[in-house]
Structure 1
Amino acid sequence: MYTLVSAPVLGFDLTRMGGGPATAEVLLHALRLTAPALAIMAEHLLADDARAELWLEVETAAARMPTVSRGLDPAVTSRDDPTGDPPAPRAGESNAALLRALQLAPIGTVDALLRLVRYDILAWTWSGTGLAASQEPLASQATALLCDAAVAAYLRDVLSPRTRRRLAAPWISAQRRLPELPPIDLGPHQLAVTALLERLRTVSSTDAQRLTIASDEARAREGVAWAGAVHAASWAAHISDRIRVAASGQLLLVQALDHDVITLADRAGGVWNMLSGAVQAVVVRDLLDEATTHRLLAPVIGALGPAWLM
């Protein structure tokens, strides 16, 4: 469910979580790690017994966290309800409360996040393929430290503060000793991507209202065609070897929306999808046909103006 290719899905979850921007920060660092960092990170990993204790709470907290795939109630799974419809309200539970829960429920899971870190972001630390794939001890320990930090942020709303701090502390300490990271790579259209993100960091309430209206209109007008345009942009990122570039753009978008001006309900209702598609389109703008580019960028240009599009 979470991969670098499907970073817009990850971003959609993170932009609706209290710990989403912090998770994005950990992953943005992870995307830029180099081999010399592994030994430093490994030195800071908690002892096995301490990690085992903390991960017992992680597993308990993750089980309490509802996801779209298993319904709003952790006891209700998609296998129990083959229609995929959300569970009916329980006695005394308002429709508003259910809607709020649905807005917050992530599509992915903790396991999906860990697979993303281990096998996608840190794919370069593995040798061999299939069942024969393995990591050197230092790489394995560095990966474990990074997973601790990522899950501490991802589960911020359901973990105890003490467990969060203990999981995150080794990564914070290691960062102070890591070699300087290379700049975030946003590809050949970095100026335009950066300008759009900066525009979104400083949106006004009027801008937010326009974005919501543009999102509603685009969804009603474009429908399946819009989804096809997003797929085309994702495919262009894949064939041009810009998957990590595009993923970085999505994670930075999560951080750019770390404010209350664009509400959670609006992000969940379509604004995230519209903005995510625009970021994806700008990253591969030179590879898309005119119709696809227009479909993905026109709603945002209509709402925010064209000044950011360099």
Structure 2
Amino acid sequence: MVETYYKAINWNQIEDKVDKATWEKLTEQFWLDTRIPLSNDRDDWRQLSEVEHTLVGRVFGGLTLLDTLQSQDGMDQLRRDTRTQEEMAVFNNIQFMESVHAKSYSSIFSTLNTTEEIEEIFDWTNHNQYLQHKAEVINEIYQNGKPLEKKVASVFLETFLFYSGFYTPLYYLGNNKLTNVAEIIKLIIRDESVHGTYIGYKFQLGFNELSQSDQQKLQDWMYDLLYSLYDNEEKYTSLLYDDIGWTDDVNKFLRYNANKALMNLGQNPLFADGNAENVNPIVMNGISTGTNNHDFFSQVGNGYLLGKVAAMKDSDYNIGLDKK
């Protein structure tokens, strides 16, 4: 018999059932931005103030940068430390969808903004000190960190750092504005909740194999990193939201999602007030609102073929993982 040089993936012999469950969930909820009728939001857009136009452009510019980082560097690094071939396949899926997310913001820009405004948004994004700082911190870990540290960075990015940007469209959705833009954001959040949970689960497998002293060292590093990222995020949030008066509410939302990130990693929450009850109920209502049902034969919302986006709740962060 010839010695095996390259091993074929066999989905009929699953080493980790979570790999299969995650693959199925991600493929079932596949979507593309081209299916969302963003042009229907132009009337709402015209009624927003210049301060709001600037805010929306900048938060989506920031989100584009983070999704670009995740698609170009994050998943590439995480794929270098996989336990199973199926896990590699899941990361391939995640990497592609991160690219879809990044492209989706450009679809929003091309619908709502002029060419000159788009250039200004990307210039601001590519030179903003707080955005560039968090990208540098996360990417430094991706390029030079240990495998478990890279997973922590990824979960912090997807379950925490995105949410200073997500707040804006969710707030407008809760007020029945920019509903099609918000549908894209809800689809992205739905994806990110699975990504964060899955990568957090893979982190926990490795973390539980460490000695108690090594676990403590990693936990100390993890919480120090979160403190540092939160400090930068507060400054970024202040820059974005002071003019519109939402800064305090956004920070509460950030603390809620920072605790969610720690939950995904199997760790204790950091912020005592980081719970849903302290988040602006308009935003929580925006998260929990179902999809708009557009006509499948003309303009198609996020309900096309795959059913509705269910209300976002704690169980949305559970993809079948048996957490201890």
Report the TM-score, using the length of structure 2 for normalisation.
0.27
Report the TM-score, using the length of structure 1 for normalisation.
0.28
User: Per chain length, whose mean CA-contact separation is higher, i.e. which structure has more relative contact order (CA < 8 Å, sep 6+)?
Assistant: 1
